[in-house]
Structure 1
């Protein structure tokens, strides 16, 4: 089947949606291809009883300009305030960081570090606040920093206590990584999320995804078997769907899947590109949203972060006024051990309730229902030496014309970072097409 005027975008998570959206804005035909039965990836809603709930991507930062423009383009999708609220246990009492006392609480957290920790942390925070591009992978401040001092693990840059109190809550929740598994060059992408203030879509993500699905063709339940290459150029895909294997030709193929999945797809054509993609670290995560018969959190305390002795990394209220619905995240080294050993969702949620009950009263008898999702390739911890990584990608992709890459490992894992990556990928396609047109015009002009 020929689709020579159409680009294929593989993967319908935030990066894939963004790439398709920006290409369609520029007048390109795009077919979105998804192996699951619905689009959205980690931001797709799941049913908690008869209501759709978000297991990922629920909180939308005030600085998420691209993503907010997208939701506006998808119709009437209003936002409601959620703010910033997270607590830790310090000296047997809860220390809460929220919008009303952000400065005071931040100073209390920073007091756990050495003067060098505080100086270094304020410097990197300042870099992100001065230029939001430093809150994306490859930002100018962190690129220069790593070129001068090296891209070392965060555990080598900050003291052990500061890593546990300040750094780990960021890396384990956003990347599934311990401080020794995350790098200084990637810190800005976490800091941008911490420094932001958040809203939530009043109607959730469902109407946004439903409207987007109407903007162009979508193939569900379709898995990429391999790339089709002719004369050194990627010209299509072999897809397996419910009817069997199909060979489809496209103007170009865009892989908007996690780096480790893209690696398997490209490996037969380029072992070097596959090796580069495999250098990106991913860690598993399980997310559970549970409904209780009463409020668990309060207006003052809406989330609690746990240390590395627990399999749960974070528990938080689903919404500012939905404090009886709790979102649990299981990640980090201890969480991985439980997931690797095959702990069921029921076992994990019981462990979470036991941990939470030490500080906030909760009982499994109050639980009404829950929905859970395990992501074996869950949270992206990126890679070290981002400038060299992107240089390698560019060099290796140049040997496979017709193939493009985007995803959570390009600019960062937040929704906004994924939209930045999708937009950048769409720009690359546009530039290639414009170059092709220019070259054809030149050839026509010199032909007899």
Structure 2
């Protein structure tokens, strides 16, 4: 089947699949064909397929699929969600999220420490008053930090080992919460719309951004910190109701209230990120958070990204340090007029293998900006298509940005791939099947 016919076949099948009123009748298999599925499908019992990215390496990723009936929870509030995470010790668990649960339903004011006054904060640390040569300190900064600590306690949810978190139906989601996968093994997150946490109390750093100052925010939507065997699949991750365009400007800088959508840091390893939709965000995905973290990150940060859709993303899709990162069959969309920095960031000791991806770039967006060199590190970038045409991303980058010449050849070849679609077919396949509510 040629690429065009394959595109049409999968698109048609996917639309039929999404249109179903329930999730029991049809399952779209890995070959793109519709197969009968006996009985209601239980996403909580599903495990990552063998050979599906780095998370399938070794023991594989099964999450809480082995949970007994006592450790299967259906939650409708943030409090119920955190209680389910804390219950049951180390036993496997399945947590089903029904509807949209909100970690900040009472608003930012509920976290503010007594005496904190943002207007006074702006007055105290205005560069015209404070300058740009020293970090902020004093009463209002102390109260801001206390307010931030209050928010931190509420919105962070620590995910135990052997856990599956799955949305029920097509409209399940989490708003304003930060899923912390820290120091554990074997976690699955699927079928959720995750609205990025909003930092209610960003800190002003006068010395950042070459001494002109910047607002620094906390909280990722999902962070994999020193954890292994993590599968993040069929989710929609976005700034949602609070895009950067809605944020105010103070001291000449955007009052940034977002951090990452999915970050893998501090020795996180064996992660598969598949069939997700990443939308309307700035610093999207960080793999390795420090050039000096070789002691914890060398030989780790092995991540696979496949069949994800990125639209309205400014940068870090992903930015990579250390690790062997395999990125294939993703669709990157840069729309007209959006702010755009780069897609793949090549960082310290990274070995990125990026092939068979599709890039849809608006007129005026340079293909050379798909890659961004932060440090000297080789990569493989072959069989990628830009606006439907086979393009050598490294050659284009080196020709247009010779001061940041990139080396070709990552020095390894991925083996953990279930299937590789032709990049011309990727937009049709991924756009119809990636994101929450698309599992049937």
Q: Which has the higher helix share?
A: 1
The alignment's TM-score, normalised by the length of structure 2, stands at 0.28
The alignment's TM-score, normalised by the length of structure 1, stands at 0.28
